[in-house]
Structure 1
Amino acid sequence: MKNFFTILGGMGTLATESFIHVLNERTPIHADQDYLNYLLVNHATVPDRTDYILGNSEDDPSLAIKEDIQQYSRFEPDFFVLTCNTAHHFFDELQEETDIPILHMPRLAVKTVNKTFAKSTGKTRVGLLATEGTIQTKVYENELTKFGNLEVVLPDAALQQDVTNLIYRDVKENHFFNEELFYQILRKMSEEFSCDVMVLGCTELSLVQEFTQNTKYPVVDAQSELANETIRRALDNRS
Protein backbone atom coordinates (compact mmCIF):
# COMPACT_ATOMS: atom_id res chain seq x y z
CA MET A 1 0.00 0.00 0.00
CA LYS A 2 1.25 3.47 -0.93
CA ASN A 3 0.34 6.93 0.32
CA PHE A 4 -0.87 5.85 3.75
CA PHE A 5 -0.49 6.95 7.35
CA THR A 6 -0.61 5.08 10.65
CA ILE A 7 -2.97 5.97 13.50
CA LEU A 8 -1.63 5.25 16.98
CA GLY A 9 -4.91 4.69 18.80
CA GLY A 10 -6.59 2.74 21.55
CA MET A 11 -6.11 5.46 24.18
CA GLY A 12 -9.08 5.00 24.56
CA THR A 13 -10.81 2.86 22.00
CA LEU A 14 -14.10 4.80 21.91
CA ALA A 15 -12.22 8.03 21.30
CA THR A 16 -10.22 6.36 18.53
CA GLU A 17 -13.44 5.14 16.97
CA SER A 18 -14.74 8.70 17.11
CA PHE A 19 -11.62 9.98 15.36
CA ILE A 20 -12.02 7.42 12.58
CA HIS A 21 -15.67 8.39 12.16
CA VAL A 22 -14.80 12.10 11.87
CA LEU A 23 -11.92 11.33 9.52
CA ASN A 24 -14.02 9.26 7.13
CA GLU A 25 -16.99 11.60 7.30
CA ARG A 26 -14.91 14.65 6.35
CA THR A 27 -12.91 13.01 3.59
CA PRO A 28 -14.26 14.24 0.23
CA ILE A 29 -15.39 11.12 -1.61
CA HIS A 30 -17.37 10.07 -4.67
CA ALA A 31 -16.30 6.42 -4.69
CA ASP A 32 -14.76 3.86 -2.33
CA GLN A 33 -11.33 4.60 -3.76
CA ASP A 34 -11.50 8.22 -2.59
CA TYR A 35 -11.20 7.28 1.08
CA LEU A 36 -7.79 7.57 2.71
CA ASN A 37 -5.29 4.76 3.08
CA TYR A 38 -4.30 4.13 6.71
CA LEU A 39 -3.34 1.54 9.27
CA LEU A 40 -5.11 1.67 12.61
CA VAL A 41 -3.20 0.50 15.68
CA ASN A 42 -5.80 0.15 18.43
CA HIS A 43 -3.39 -0.54 21.29
CA ALA A 44 -6.00 -0.66 24.05
CA THR A 45 -3.64 -2.07 26.70
CA VAL A 46 -1.32 0.97 26.75
CA PRO A 47 -1.17 1.92 30.47
CA ASP A 48 -3.15 4.98 31.53
CA ARG A 49 -1.16 8.12 30.79
CA THR A 50 -2.59 10.25 33.59
CA ASP A 51 -2.07 7.57 36.26
CA TYR A 52 1.60 7.39 35.33
CA ILE A 53 2.10 11.15 35.16
CA LEU A 54 0.42 11.70 38.53
CA GLY A 55 2.55 8.99 40.12
CA ASN A 56 -0.35 6.59 40.71
CA SER A 57 1.19 3.88 38.51
CA GLU A 58 4.70 2.72 37.67
CA ASP A 59 3.64 1.42 34.23
CA ASP A 60 5.25 3.79 31.74
CA PRO A 61 2.87 4.14 28.76
CA SER A 62 5.57 5.65 26.56
CA LEU A 63 7.30 2.27 26.33
CA ALA A 64 4.29 0.69 24.64
CA ILE A 65 3.84 3.62 22.26
CA LYS A 66 7.55 3.60 21.37
CA GLU A 67 7.27 -0.10 20.57
CA ASP A 68 4.35 0.64 18.25
CA ILE A 69 6.30 3.38 16.51
CA GLN A 70 9.30 1.09 16.04
CA GLN A 71 7.13 -1.72 14.66
CA TYR A 72 5.04 0.35 12.28
CA SER A 73 7.88 2.56 11.06
CA ARG A 74 9.03 -0.53 9.17
CA PHE A 75 6.00 -0.16 6.91
CA GLU A 76 7.14 3.39 6.04
CA PRO A 77 3.91 5.35 6.46
CA ASP A 78 3.93 8.98 5.34
CA PHE A 79 3.25 10.12 8.90
CA PHE A 80 1.91 9.01 12.28
CA VAL A 81 -1.25 10.27 13.98
CA LEU A 82 -1.26 10.13 17.80
CA THR A 83 -4.87 10.37 18.96
CA CYS A 84 -4.28 10.78 22.72
CA ASN A 85 -3.74 14.31 24.03
CA THR A 86 -2.06 13.27 27.29
CA ALA A 87 0.40 11.04 25.42
CA HIS A 88 1.83 14.20 23.84
CA HIS A 89 3.71 14.67 27.11
CA PHE A 90 6.11 12.10 25.63
CA PHE A 91 6.07 13.64 22.13
CA ASP A 92 9.76 14.51 21.86
CA GLU A 93 10.76 11.02 23.07
CA LEU A 94 8.37 9.41 20.62
CA GLN A 95 9.57 11.48 17.69
CA GLU A 96 13.15 10.44 18.46
CA GLU A 97 12.14 6.85 17.74
CA THR A 98 11.50 7.53 14.04
CA ASP A 99 12.33 9.81 11.14
CA ILE A 100 8.67 9.68 10.12
CA PRO A 101 6.81 12.81 11.32
CA ILE A 102 4.22 12.54 14.08
CA LEU A 103 1.41 15.10 14.01
CA HIS A 104 1.27 17.23 17.17
CA MET A 105 -2.41 17.52 18.15
CA PRO A 106 -2.11 20.22 20.87
CA ARG A 107 0.00 22.40 18.57
CA LEU A 108 -2.61 22.14 15.82
CA ALA A 109 -5.42 23.05 18.22
CA VAL A 110 -3.59 26.07 19.63
CA LYS A 111 -2.79 27.29 16.14
CA THR A 112 -6.53 27.30 15.39
CA VAL A 113 -7.27 29.10 18.66
CA ASN A 114 -4.87 31.88 17.72
CA LYS A 115 -6.08 32.09 14.14
CA THR A 116 -9.80 32.04 14.91
CA PHE A 117 -10.29 33.59 18.34
CA ALA A 118 -7.33 35.91 19.03
CA LYS A 119 -8.48 39.47 19.72
CA SER A 120 -7.01 42.44 17.88
CA THR A 121 -6.35 44.09 21.24
CA GLY A 122 -5.97 42.55 24.68
CA LYS A 123 -5.61 38.92 25.60
CA THR A 124 -7.90 36.07 24.66
CA ARG A 125 -8.86 33.96 27.66
CA VAL A 126 -8.51 30.31 26.65
CA GLY A 127 -10.06 27.71 28.96
CA LEU A 128 -8.34 24.34 28.97
CA LEU A 129 -10.43 21.22 29.52
CA ALA A 130 -8.30 18.10 29.75
CA THR A 131 -7.16 15.27 32.00
CA GLU A 132 -5.25 16.12 35.15
CA GLY A 133 -2.21 14.54 33.52
CA THR A 134 -2.38 16.83 30.50
CA ILE A 135 -2.81 19.88 32.72
CA GLN A 136 0.01 18.94 35.07
CA THR A 137 2.49 18.39 32.24
CA LYS A 138 1.53 21.71 30.63
CA VAL A 139 1.30 20.12 27.19
CA TYR A 140 -1.22 22.74 26.12
CA GLU A 141 -0.11 25.57 28.37
CA ASN A 142 3.37 25.53 26.82
CA GLU A 143 1.88 25.81 23.34
CA LEU A 144 -0.60 28.53 24.33
CA THR A 145 1.97 30.72 26.05
CA LYS A 146 4.06 30.82 22.87
CA PHE A 147 1.47 33.35 21.73
CA GLY A 148 1.67 36.44 23.90
CA ASN A 149 -1.97 37.28 23.26
CA LEU A 150 -3.39 34.03 24.67
CA GLU A 151 -4.08 33.67 28.39
CA VAL A 152 -4.49 30.17 29.80
CA VAL A 153 -7.44 29.63 32.14
CA LEU A 154 -7.56 26.40 34.15
CA PRO A 155 -10.60 25.03 36.02
CA ASP A 156 -10.55 25.21 39.80
CA ALA A 157 -10.37 21.96 41.79
CA ALA A 158 -14.14 21.43 41.87
CA LEU A 159 -14.63 22.02 38.15
CA GLN A 160 -11.60 19.89 37.27
CA GLN A 161 -13.21 17.06 39.22
CA ASP A 162 -16.30 17.47 37.04
CA VAL A 163 -14.09 17.25 33.93
CA THR A 164 -12.34 14.15 35.30
CA ASN A 165 -15.68 12.53 36.12
CA LEU A 166 -16.96 13.21 32.62
CA ILE A 167 -13.85 11.70 31.04
CA TYR A 168 -13.29 8.67 33.26
CA ARG A 169 -16.49 7.85 35.14
CA ASP A 170 -18.93 8.66 32.36
CA VAL A 171 -17.22 8.05 29.00
CA LYS A 172 -14.39 5.61 29.72
CA GLU A 173 -16.12 3.48 32.37
CA ASN A 174 -19.79 3.66 31.44
CA HIS A 175 -19.90 4.74 27.77
CA PHE A 176 -22.22 7.54 28.92
CA PHE A 177 -22.05 10.82 27.01
CA ASN A 178 -23.17 13.06 29.88
CA GLU A 179 -24.60 15.96 27.93
CA GLU A 180 -25.87 17.77 31.04
CA LEU A 181 -22.47 17.73 32.76
CA PHE A 182 -20.69 18.69 29.54
CA TYR A 183 -22.82 21.81 29.09
CA GLN A 184 -22.50 22.63 32.77
CA ILE A 185 -18.70 22.62 32.45
CA LEU A 186 -18.75 24.75 29.30
CA ARG A 187 -21.20 27.21 30.87
CA LYS A 188 -19.07 27.66 33.98
CA MET A 189 -15.88 28.14 31.99
CA SER A 190 -17.60 30.64 29.71
CA GLU A 191 -19.61 32.60 32.26
CA GLU A 192 -17.89 32.17 35.64
CA PHE A 193 -14.30 31.96 34.40
CA SER A 194 -14.88 34.51 31.59
CA CYS A 195 -13.32 32.36 28.87
CA ASP A 196 -13.53 33.54 25.28
CA VAL A 197 -13.04 30.00 23.99
CA MET A 198 -12.46 26.53 25.47
CA VAL A 199 -10.02 23.94 24.16
CA LEU A 200 -11.21 20.35 24.33
CA GLY A 201 -7.86 18.78 25.13
CA CYS A 202 -9.02 15.22 25.68
CA THR A 203 -10.43 12.90 23.03
CA GLU A 204 -13.18 11.70 25.38
CA LEU A 205 -14.37 15.30 25.48
CA SER A 206 -14.16 15.35 21.70
CA LEU A 207 -16.39 12.30 21.67
CA VAL A 208 -19.00 14.08 23.82
CA GLN A 209 -18.71 17.16 21.59
CA GLU A 210 -19.43 15.00 18.55
CA PHE A 211 -22.39 13.39 20.31
CA THR A 212 -23.96 16.64 21.53
CA GLN A 213 -23.13 18.72 18.44
CA ASN A 214 -22.53 21.69 20.75
CA THR A 215 -22.75 25.04 18.97
CA LYS A 216 -23.80 27.13 21.97
CA TYR A 217 -20.36 27.59 23.46
CA PRO A 218 -17.16 28.43 21.53
CA VAL A 219 -14.75 25.52 21.56
CA VAL A 220 -11.72 24.31 19.63
CA ASP A 221 -11.80 20.53 19.51
CA ALA A 222 -8.25 19.18 19.33
CA GLN A 223 -9.36 15.90 17.77
CA SER A 224 -11.26 17.78 15.09
CA GLU A 225 -8.17 19.82 14.24
CA LEU A 226 -6.09 16.64 14.09
CA ALA A 227 -8.59 15.07 11.69
CA ASN A 228 -8.50 18.14 9.44
CA GLU A 229 -4.69 18.14 9.29
CA THR A 230 -4.60 14.38 8.70
CA ILE A 231 -6.92 14.73 5.70
CA ARG A 232 -4.99 17.70 4.33
CA ARG A 233 -1.62 15.88 4.50
CA ALA A 234 -2.99 12.60 3.19
CA LEU A 235 -4.58 14.26 0.17
CA ASP A 236 -1.43 16.30 -0.52
CA ASN A 237 0.66 13.13 -0.42
CA ARG A 238 -1.74 11.40 -2.78
CA SER A 239 -1.65 14.14 -5.41
Structure 2
Amino acid sequence: MIMKNFFTILGGMGTLATESFIHVLNERTPIHSDQDYLNYLLVNHATVPDRTDFILGKTKDDPSLAIKEDIQQYSHFQPDFFVLTCNTAHHFFDKLQEETDIPILHMPRLAVEVVNQKFAKTSGKTRVGLLATEGTIQTKVYENELMKFDNLEVILPDATVQQEVTNLIYRDVKENHFCNEELFYQILQQMTEKYACDVIILGCTELSLVQEFTQNKKYPVVDAQSELADETIRRALRNREEPEKKAT
Protein backbone atom coordinates (compact mmCIF):
# COMPACT_ATOMS: atom_id res chain seq x y z
CA MET A 1 0.00 0.00 0.00
CA ILE A 2 1.42 3.39 -1.03
CA MET A 3 1.72 5.96 1.74
CA LYS A 4 -0.76 8.79 1.30
CA ASN A 5 -1.50 12.03 3.14
CA PHE A 6 2.05 12.60 4.30
CA PHE A 7 4.40 15.53 4.73
CA THR A 8 8.18 15.88 4.54
CA ILE A 9 10.32 17.26 7.36
CA LEU A 10 13.47 19.09 6.25
CA GLY A 11 15.60 18.50 9.31
CA GLY A 12 19.13 17.86 10.54
CA MET A 13 19.83 21.55 11.26
CA GLY A 14 20.70 20.42 13.93
CA THR A 15 19.91 16.79 14.51
CA LEU A 16 19.14 17.02 18.26
CA ALA A 17 16.68 19.83 17.59
CA THR A 18 15.06 17.75 14.84
CA GLU A 19 14.79 14.84 17.25
CA SER A 20 13.09 17.17 19.72
CA PHE A 21 10.62 18.28 17.04
CA ILE A 22 9.76 14.68 16.18
CA HIS A 23 9.27 13.86 19.88
CA VAL A 24 6.89 16.82 20.35
CA LEU A 25 5.08 15.99 17.11
CA ASN A 26 4.47 12.35 18.04
CA GLU A 27 3.64 13.14 21.66
CA ARG A 28 0.95 15.68 20.72
CA THR A 29 -0.67 13.65 17.95
CA PRO A 30 -3.98 12.25 19.22
CA ILE A 31 -3.70 8.47 18.98
CA HIS A 32 -5.47 5.30 20.03
CA SER A 33 -3.42 2.92 17.92
CA ASP A 34 -0.22 2.83 15.86
CA GLN A 35 -2.20 3.74 12.76
CA ASP A 36 -3.25 7.08 14.26
CA TYR A 37 0.26 8.52 14.10
CA LEU A 38 1.02 10.87 11.21
CA ASN A 39 2.60 9.82 7.95
CA TYR A 40 5.81 11.69 7.18
CA LEU A 41 9.25 11.46 5.63
CA LEU A 42 12.14 12.74 7.74
CA VAL A 43 15.12 14.20 5.91
CA ASN A 44 17.86 14.50 8.53
CA HIS A 45 20.38 16.33 6.35
CA ALA A 46 23.00 16.87 9.05
CA THR A 47 25.74 17.99 6.63
CA VAL A 48 23.92 21.15 5.50
CA PRO A 49 26.46 23.95 6.12
CA ASP A 50 25.86 26.13 9.18
CA ARG A 51 23.34 28.82 8.35
CA THR A 52 24.65 31.46 10.76
CA ASP A 53 28.29 30.97 9.70
CA PHE A 54 27.28 31.63 6.09
CA ILE A 55 25.16 34.67 6.94
CA LEU A 56 27.94 36.17 9.07
CA GLY A 57 30.51 35.55 6.32
CA LYS A 58 32.50 32.94 8.25
CA THR A 59 32.09 30.41 5.43
CA LYS A 60 31.32 30.54 1.72
CA ASP A 61 29.35 27.28 1.85
CA ASP A 62 25.80 28.32 0.99
CA PRO A 63 23.36 26.12 2.98
CA SER A 64 20.42 27.10 0.78
CA LEU A 65 21.89 25.06 -2.10
CA ALA A 66 21.66 21.84 -0.10
CA ILE A 67 18.15 22.62 1.12
CA LYS A 68 17.03 23.45 -2.42
CA GLU A 69 18.32 20.07 -3.60
CA ASP A 70 16.39 18.36 -0.81
CA ILE A 71 13.22 20.17 -1.83
CA GLN A 72 13.72 19.27 -5.49
CA GLN A 73 14.40 15.64 -4.64
CA TYR A 74 11.54 15.12 -2.21
CA SER A 75 9.01 17.10 -4.22
CA HIS A 76 8.97 14.11 -6.58
CA PHE A 77 7.22 12.14 -3.82
CA GLN A 78 4.44 14.77 -3.73
CA PRO A 79 4.08 15.38 0.02
CA ASP A 80 1.15 17.54 1.11
CA PHE A 81 3.58 20.10 2.52
CA PHE A 82 7.14 20.62 3.74
CA VAL A 83 8.18 21.40 7.31
CA LEU A 84 11.43 23.38 7.68
CA THR A 85 12.64 22.92 11.25
CA CYS A 86 15.51 25.44 11.25
CA ASN A 87 14.65 29.05 12.13
CA THR A 88 17.74 30.60 10.58
CA ALA A 89 17.12 28.75 7.30
CA HIS A 90 13.96 30.82 6.90
CA HIS A 91 16.24 33.62 5.70
CA PHE A 92 16.19 31.68 2.41
CA PHE A 93 12.45 30.94 2.57
CA ASP A 94 11.33 32.75 -0.57
CA LYS A 95 14.08 31.15 -2.67
CA LEU A 96 13.24 27.73 -1.24
CA GLN A 97 9.52 28.10 -1.93
CA GLU A 98 10.33 29.01 -5.54
CA GLU A 99 11.74 25.49 -5.96
CA THR A 100 8.35 23.80 -5.52
CA ASP A 101 4.60 24.28 -5.78
CA ILE A 102 4.24 22.33 -2.55
CA PRO A 103 3.76 24.72 0.39
CA ILE A 104 6.48 25.09 3.04
CA LEU A 105 5.30 26.02 6.52
CA HIS A 106 6.80 29.31 7.74
CA MET A 107 7.82 28.80 11.37
CA PRO A 108 8.63 32.44 12.32
CA ARG A 109 5.35 33.64 10.82
CA LEU A 110 3.40 31.05 12.80
CA ALA A 111 5.14 32.06 16.04
CA VAL A 112 4.51 35.78 15.51
CA GLU A 113 0.84 35.17 14.74
CA VAL A 114 0.54 33.33 18.07
CA VAL A 115 2.25 36.21 19.86
CA ASN A 116 -0.28 38.62 18.40
CA GLN A 117 -3.22 36.36 19.21
CA LYS A 118 -2.27 35.53 22.78
CA PHE A 119 -0.18 38.45 24.07
CA ALA A 120 -1.31 41.57 22.22
CA LYS A 121 -2.45 44.30 24.62
CA THR A 122 -5.73 46.14 24.25
CA SER A 123 -3.79 49.42 24.45
CA GLY A 124 -0.12 50.18 23.98
CA LYS A 125 2.54 48.00 22.44
CA THR A 126 3.47 44.48 23.47
CA ARG A 127 7.20 44.20 24.11
CA VAL A 128 8.34 41.05 22.33
CA GLY A 129 11.81 39.77 23.17
CA LEU A 130 13.62 37.67 20.58
CA LEU A 131 16.13 34.95 21.38
CA ALA A 132 17.77 33.42 18.31
CA THR A 133 21.08 32.82 16.55
CA GLU A 134 23.12 35.80 15.44
CA GLY A 135 22.24 34.83 11.87
CA THR A 136 18.51 34.99 12.54
CA ILE A 137 18.90 38.31 14.35
CA GLN A 138 21.03 39.85 11.59
CA THR A 139 18.73 38.81 8.74
CA LYS A 140 15.63 40.08 10.60
CA VAL A 141 13.74 36.87 9.89
CA TYR A 142 11.53 37.47 12.92
CA GLU A 143 11.76 41.24 13.06
CA ASN A 144 10.20 41.55 9.60
CA GLU A 145 7.27 39.40 10.67
CA LEU A 146 6.82 41.27 13.96
CA MET A 147 6.86 44.64 12.22
CA LYS A 148 3.73 43.65 10.28
CA PHE A 149 1.81 44.29 13.50
CA ASP A 150 1.73 47.90 14.71
CA ASN A 151 1.02 46.79 18.28
CA LEU A 152 4.16 44.64 18.61
CA GLU A 153 7.56 46.09 19.58
CA VAL A 154 10.71 44.07 18.90
CA ILE A 155 13.18 43.85 21.80
CA LEU A 156 16.62 42.47 20.94
CA PRO A 157 19.20 41.47 23.56
CA ASP A 158 22.40 43.45 23.95
CA ALA A 159 25.77 41.97 22.97
CA THR A 160 26.34 40.39 26.40
CA VAL A 161 23.00 38.59 26.50
CA GLN A 162 23.30 37.62 22.84
CA GLN A 163 26.64 35.99 23.60
CA GLU A 164 24.95 34.01 26.37
CA VAL A 165 22.29 32.90 23.90
CA THR A 166 24.98 31.90 21.39
CA ASN A 167 26.84 29.95 24.08
CA LEU A 168 23.68 28.12 25.05
CA ILE A 169 22.90 27.19 21.44
CA TYR A 170 26.35 26.29 20.14
CA ARG A 171 28.61 25.53 23.09
CA ASP A 172 26.08 23.78 25.29
CA VAL A 173 23.47 22.14 23.07
CA LYS A 174 25.17 21.64 19.70
CA GLU A 175 28.68 20.84 20.90
CA ASN A 176 28.14 19.22 24.30
CA HIS A 177 24.53 17.97 24.17
CA PHE A 178 23.93 19.89 27.41
CA CYS A 179 20.63 21.59 28.18
CA ASN A 180 22.04 24.35 30.38
CA GLU A 181 18.99 25.03 32.53
CA GLU A 182 20.71 27.62 34.71
CA LEU A 183 21.87 29.73 31.76
CA PHE A 184 18.48 29.38 30.04
CA TYR A 185 16.62 30.76 33.04
CA GLN A 186 19.23 33.47 33.50
CA ILE A 187 18.62 34.68 29.94
CA LEU A 188 14.84 34.56 30.33
CA GLN A 189 15.05 36.46 33.60
CA GLN A 190 17.13 39.22 32.02
CA MET A 191 14.76 39.57 29.08
CA THR A 192 11.74 39.68 31.40
CA GLU A 193 13.13 41.94 34.13
CA LYS A 194 15.89 44.04 32.53
CA TYR A 195 14.16 44.49 29.17
CA ALA A 196 10.59 44.36 30.52
CA CYS A 197 9.46 41.96 27.82
CA ASP A 198 5.82 40.89 27.90
CA VAL A 199 6.67 37.72 26.00
CA ILE A 200 9.81 36.12 24.58
CA ILE A 201 10.03 34.26 21.29
CA LEU A 202 12.30 31.23 21.30
CA GLY A 203 13.48 31.60 17.71
CA CYS A 204 15.99 28.76 17.59
CA THR A 205 15.22 25.05 17.74
CA GLU A 206 18.08 24.43 20.18
CA LEU A 207 16.31 26.84 22.54
CA SER A 208 13.13 24.87 21.91
CA LEU A 209 15.00 21.74 22.96
CA VAL A 210 16.02 23.39 26.24
CA GLN A 211 12.45 24.63 26.74
CA GLU A 212 11.19 21.07 26.32
CA PHE A 213 13.82 19.80 28.76
CA THR A 214 13.13 22.39 31.45
CA GLN A 215 9.34 22.59 30.96
CA ASN A 216 9.64 26.32 31.74
CA LYS A 217 6.35 27.85 32.87
CA LYS A 218 7.86 30.65 34.94
CA TYR A 219 8.60 33.02 32.06
CA PRO A 220 6.18 33.88 29.21
CA VAL A 221 7.51 32.40 25.98
CA VAL A 222 6.27 31.47 22.55
CA ASP A 223 8.27 28.49 21.35
CA ALA A 224 8.46 28.65 17.55
CA GLN A 225 9.15 24.94 17.17
CA SER A 226 6.18 24.11 19.38
CA GLU A 227 3.91 26.25 17.23
CA LEU A 228 5.29 24.61 14.10
CA ALA A 229 4.53 21.17 15.56
CA ASP A 230 0.95 22.19 16.36
CA GLU A 231 0.36 23.59 12.87
CA THR A 232 1.90 20.46 11.32
CA ILE A 233 -0.52 18.27 13.26
CA ARG A 234 -3.51 20.45 12.35
CA ARG A 235 -2.72 20.34 8.64
CA ALA A 236 -1.86 16.66 8.57
CA LEU A 237 -5.06 15.66 10.35
CA ARG A 238 -7.12 17.91 8.08
CA ASN A 239 -5.54 16.34 5.00
CA ARG A 240 -6.24 12.89 6.38
CA GLU A 241 -9.90 13.77 6.90
CA GLU A 242 -10.16 15.49 3.52
CA PRO A 243 -7.66 13.59 1.37
CA GLU A 244 -8.69 15.33 -1.84
CA LYS A 245 -7.47 18.68 -0.47
CA LYS A 246 -3.82 19.62 -0.26
CA ALA A 247 -2.54 21.97 2.47
CA THR A 248 -2.67 25.60 1.42
TM-score range, shorter chain: over 0.9
Aligned to 1:125, what secondary structure does the other structure show? strand
Residue of structure 1 equivalent to 2:67: 65
Aligned to 1:81, what secondary structure does the other structure show? strand
Pairwise CA distance, 1:3? 0.1
User: Take 2:161 and 2:39, find their aligned partners in 1: how far apart are those partners?
Assistant: 40
Pairwise CA distance, 1:103? 0.1
What is the aligned residue count? Answer: 239
Pairwise CA distance, 1:221? 0.1
TM-score computed with the length of structure 2 as normaliser:
0.96
User: Take 1:159 and 1:19, find their aligned partners in 2: how far apart are those partners?
Assistant: 26
Pairwise CA distance, 1:170? 0.2
Residue of structure 2 equivalent to 1:36: 38
Match of 1:164 among 153, 163, 166: 166
How do 1:199-238 residues align onto structure 2 when only pairs under 5 Å count?
199-238=201-240
The amino acid of 1:182's aligned partner reads F
Residue of structure 1 equivalent to 2:181: 179
Residue of structure 2 equivalent to 1:113: 115
Q: Write the deviation string for residues 169-196 of structure 1: whole angstroms up to 9, x where unpaired.
A: 0000000000000000000000000000
The amino acid of 1:61's aligned partner reads P
User: Take 2:231 and 2:157, find their aligned partners in 1: how far apart are those partners?
Assistant: 28
Aligned to 1:20, what secondary structure does the other structure show? helix
Structure 1 residue runs of 5 or longer lacking an equivalent are none
User: Take 1:66 and 1:164, find their aligned partners in 2: how far apart are those partners?
Assistant: 26
User: Take 2:31 and 2:192, find their aligned partners in 1: how far apart are those partners?
Assistant: 37
Q: Write the deviation string for residues 38-78 of structure 1: whole angstroms up to 9, x where unpaired.
A: 00000000000000000000000000000000000000000
TM-score computed with the length of structure 1 as normaliser:
1.00
Pairwise CA distance, 1:21? 0.1
How do 1:79-158 residues align onto structure 2 when only pairs under 5 Å count?
79-158=81-160
Residue of structure 1 equivalent to 2:244: none
User: Take 2:16 and 2:142, find their aligned partners in 1: how far apart are those partners?
Assistant: 22
Aligned to 1:126, what secondary structure does the other structure show? strand
The amino acid of 1:196's aligned partner reads D
Query: Aligned Cα RMSD in Å?
Result: 0.2
User: Take 1:155 and 1:172, find their aligned partners in 2: how far apart are those partners?
Assistant: 21
Runs of 4+ in 1 over 6 A off after TM superposition: none
Residue of structure 1 equivalent to 2:193: 191
User: Take 1:118 and 1:164, find their aligned partners in 2: how far apart are those partners?
Assistant: 28
